[in-house]
Amino acid sequence: MAFFTVLAALAIEHARPLRQPLFYYRHYTRFTHWIERRFNGGEAIHGVIGWGLAILPVIFGAWLAFVLLGRLHPLLGWAWNVAVLYFTLGFKYYSDDAESIARLLRAGDVEAAREKFGAWRHCDASQLSADDLARVTIEQTLAASHRQMFGVLFWFVLLAPFGPVGAVLFRATSILGRHWEGTRGEFGVFARRVFHAINWLPARLTALTYAIAGNFEDAVYAWRTQAGAWPDLEEGVVLAAGAGAMGVKLGQPITLGGESAWRPELGSGQAPDHDCIESAVSMIWRGLIIWLAAGLLIVIAGWVS
């Protein structure tokens, strides 16, 4: 049943992709900021309490609704799973924006591409060159494919007996890990550690998916030798494998909002251009097909046995 839930949610998201700003994301963000203001006393234990208040109610609510609806009718429980999975996914609006930037760069309208990227990522992109835009767009697309598709699907399937709990757990912990990263004192330490633990295996499965969908040898080499230099290890694993699989160079210093940021080089080969953005999106969709094919084989094997 989990396979068909995933299939239905992906089909809906492809037909009617979510668009920013996401109302429920904004409300949850406000809620997490309120918790941080009320409970951040600068100590790690306050972060543990805050994490529990931010995560446990939404997980329990998702599970309780699944149980109650399932008791009314199994199809209602299944529909709830599809709905929650649809709203916890969200890669399609990332890929659509990335492809829009690629079209603008192909047309030579770098200024419009800067404005599109700045609105997309809520930053000042006025100092990015065309090459910079292609590079950071690919990075954002690869990272988003993991945060808002592969990681969500992994945890949803793993915890499928509990309804949509896995999908909610991954997305909520991902949000907390990023939003509480720069908070005062040690409040955000626990949230980051939990997401690191939850994200360890799915990040490597995503990297393996890119390796299979692209150049396997170069992807594995970049993953092994370069990922550790990236500030966020799990994101580094995903980006390094993606860059190696595509045969392009990612990372490297950029200037955003008037400030230069040093980033290690990931991958090897050519500097990416607008065509590489679309190649990255294509590789991600190939990876999704690999996951769906593997899921279908498991379903068929269950039927045969």
pLDDT at 162 > cutoff 70: yes
Q: What is the per-residue pLDDT across 132-157, written as a single tens digit (0 to 9) for each?
A: 999 999 999 999 999 999 999 999 99
Q: Which has more confidence, 178 or 142?
A: 142
Q: Report pTM.
A: 0.93
Q: What is the per-residue pLDDT across 275-289, written as a single tens digit (0 to 9) for each?
A: 999 999 999 999 999
Q: Which own/partner pairs from 220-225 qualify as long-range (CB within 8 Å, at least 24 positions apart)?
A: 220/244, 222/266, 222/267, 222/268
| DSSP collapsed to 3 states, the chain | CHHHHHHHHHHHHHHCCCCCCCHHHHHHHHHHHHHHHHHCCCCHHHHHHHHHHHHHHHHHHHHHHHHHHHHHCHHHHHHHHHHHHHHHCCHHHHHHHHHHHHHHHHCCCHHHHHHHHHHHHCCCCCCCCHHHHHHHHHHHHHHHHHHHHHHHHHHHHHCHHHCCHHHHHHHHHHHHHHHCCCCCCCCCHHHHHHHHHHHHHHHHHHHHHHHHHCCHHHHHHHHHHHHHHCCCHHHHHHHHHHHHHHCEEEECCEEECCEEECCCEEECCECCCHHHHHHHHHHHHHHHHHHHHHHHHHHHHHHHC
The pLDDT confidence band at residue 191, using thresholds 50, 70 and 90, is very high
C-alpha to C-alpha distance for 186 and 102, rounded to whole angstroms: 40
Mean pLDDT of the residues in the chain: 91
Tell me which residue range forms the domain holding 28: 2-304
Q: Are residues 226 and 299 in contact, defined by beta-carbon separation less than 8 angstroms?
A: no
State percent of the chain over pLDDT 90: 67
Amino acid 187: pLDDT: 86
Amino acid 291: pLDDT: 94
**Can you tell me the mean pLDDT for 237-264?**
87
Domain total for the chain?
A: 1
The pLDDT confidence band at residue 257, using thresholds 50, 70 and 90, is low
Q: What is the per-residue pLDDT across 97-114, written as a single tens digit (0 to 9) for each?
A: 999 999 999 999 999 999
pLDDT at 199 > cutoff 90: yes
The pLDDT confidence band at residue 241, using thresholds 50, 70 and 90, is very high
Pairing of strands 259-261, 254-256: antiparallel
Amino acid 160: pLDDT: 94
Q: What is the per-residue pLDDT across 24-40, written as a single tens digit (0 to 9) for each?
A: 888 898 999 999 988 88
C-alpha to C-alpha distance for 108 and 100, rounded to whole angstroms: 13
